Amino acid sequence: MEKRGGFKSKFGLIAAVGGSVVGLGNIWRFPYLAGENGGAAFILVYVIICFLISVPIMISEFSIGRAGQSNVVNSFRKVAPKTKWELVGLLGVVASFVMLSFYCVVAGWSLEFLKTSFMNGFAGQGSEEIKEGLTSFVNSGWRPLMWTGIFIVATCGVVFLGIEKGIERYSKIMMPMIVLILLGMFFYSFTMDGFKEGVSFLLSPDFSKITPKVILQALGQSFFSLSLGMGAMITYGSYIKKETDLSKLASTISLTDMCVAILSGLAIFPAVFSMGISPTSGPDLVFITLPGVFNQMPGGYFISIIFFFLLFMAAITSSVSMVEVVTSYLREEFKIKRFWGILITGVVVLFTGSLSALSQIEGSSLTLFGMNYFDFFDMISGTYLLPLGGLLTVIFVGWFLKPEIFRNEVTSFGMYKVRLLPVVRFLIKFVSPVVITLLFLSLLGII
């Protein structure tokens, strides 16, 4: 079998894990969900969930991976031999495929927008025209298909180059740059008419908007954004050195990710209101808003190119982590070469990704439960699969995993004194399972 790589430097580790978590989830999905779910109320719930539920789950996933030293499925098998828990790992592999099937399509949009920015194709366009442009792009069928395909090939290429060379190198430079541009846009938005309205939409919560569905969506989004519930952090955990402080790493990563998401909301909503776009526009929201903002900004031509390029890079460092989950599983479980694992994954995702791109054509018959495949994959993974994966993970760690294994990982075998350990245990054992279960039950109409 091929040797497992590992992260060489601390910064490389943060960059790669950061690269996985910061992605379309922050910049595309978070703003559109916040817009659909009442803005500030959603964000408040989101932040609470990140601290109370997601950080402990991330610590749990890292621990399973680092203790298991293997792919998702085998890590579960190693820490809980001869049990059925490895099926949770398998669920993660399935979820990765579902996620990739729509993630690559949106990533493809960022490439189309990059191309259009480059050709100055948005110049002088208002939100209506940008929206029409997006619609005709999506309806053309072959263009989204092409970009989706290109993105998938690029992702597989990066994974093929190997863990540190492929992933670390890019993330180090790109991550801070994205934050800078978003910050710039936020400051620029001070000058917009919609600034007040946008900021108050994001920051003054209307508590009547908080329903179980909103909470479950916030939970799903938090998992989505932090790459939880499908084994990505278990897979990455297996590459983390024994001396790394897992709880510190999980807190740093989560905090960064949350800030990037909120920052991108702050950069986008003032423009949404200034341009008279509906905050409930759904998955199109960010794509129809941004070019309009760049049009007004000084130097917008260049900023637009840089932004969509960075969005593409942010997407690729994330899609790479999803592919990594699948290929490390295929490679180690079926003893196939890295290349074949990547090829198989790529071909399957090319197929499912194409279906979801084509399903967006108006009147397409590629639908499931009254939604096109794209929306269905987005919804089923974000609202159900990831929360389910997270739920099973906390139940496992809280109730079935030997407590010493968890303690040894979290404290790095006694190297760190984690004062909050009892609190983390409590959150994992009781709070997370109860909250997630109640949410599922209420969504299914049982309570």
Among 80, 411, 402, 76, smallest CA distance to 238 is for 76
Q: Which is nearer to ligand TRP, 23 or 39 (CB)?
A: 23
Angle between helix axes 300-333 and 10-21 (nearest 10 degrees) is 100
Report the C-alpha gap between 273 and 262 in whole angstroms.
17
Q: Which is nearer to ligand TRP, 72 or 275 (CB)?
A: 72
Classify 186 as helix, strand or coil: helix
Among 172, 182, 219, 180, smallest CA distance to 317 is for 172
Which position's Cβ is nearest ligand TRP? 25
**Owner of token pair 């179980």:** 212
Report the C-alpha gap between 393 and 400 in whole angstroms.
10
Least Å distance, CB 168 to ligand TRP, is: 16
Report the C-alpha gap between 14 and 20 in whole angstroms.
10
What's the angle, vertex CA 383, arms to CA 381 and CA 385, rounded to 5? 45
DSSP state of 207: G
Q: Which is nearer to ligand TRP, 192 or 325 (CB)?
A: 325
Exposed e or buried b per residue across 200-211, where buried means at least 16 C-beta atoms within 10 angstroms of its C-beta = ebbeebeeeebe
Least Å distance, CB 389 to ligand TRP, is: 8
Q: Which is nearer to ligand TRP, 224 or 406 (CB)?
A: 224
Q: How far is CA 404 from CA 60, 286, 390, in A?
A: 13, 46, 21
Least Å distance, CB 1 to ligand TRP, is: 24
Least Å distance, CB 223 to ligand TRP, is: 6
Least Å distance, CB 20 to ligand TRP, is: 5
User: What element of type H or E holds 369?
Assistant: none
Least Å distance, CB 380 to ligand TRP, is: 13
Spatial CB neighbours of 209, under 8 Å, sequence gap ≥ 6: 37, 38, 41, 42
Q: Which is nearer to ligand TRP, 149 or 387 (CB)?
A: 387
Q: Which is nearer to ligand TRP, 62 or 224 (CB)?
A: 224
Q: Which is nearer to ligand TRP, 170 or 273 (CB)?
A: 170
DSSP state of 16: H
Contact 197, 277 (CB under 8 A): no
Q: Which is nearer to ligand TRP, 113 or 224 (CB)?
A: 224
Q: Which two tokens stand for residue 257?
A: 């990710």
Which residues would be at the binding site for ligand TRP (CB under 6 A)?
20-21, 23-26, 99, 224-225, 227, 230, 232, 318, 321-322, 386
Q: Which two tokens stand for residue 7?
A: 């992260």
Least Å distance, CB 49 to ligand TRP, is: 15
Q: Which is nearer to ligand TRP, 119 or 255 (CB)?
A: 255
Least Å distance, CB 201 to ligand TRP, is: 22
Q: Biggest alpha carbon distance in the chain?
A: 63
Report the C-alpha gap between 42 and 31 in whole angstroms.
10
Report the C-alpha gap between 61 and 394 in whole angstroms.
9
Classify 69 as helix, strand or coil: coil
Q: Which is nearer to ligand TRP, 114 or 385 (CB)?
A: 385
Least Å distance, CB 189 to ligand TRP, is: 22
Least Å distance, CB 384 to ligand TRP, is: 13
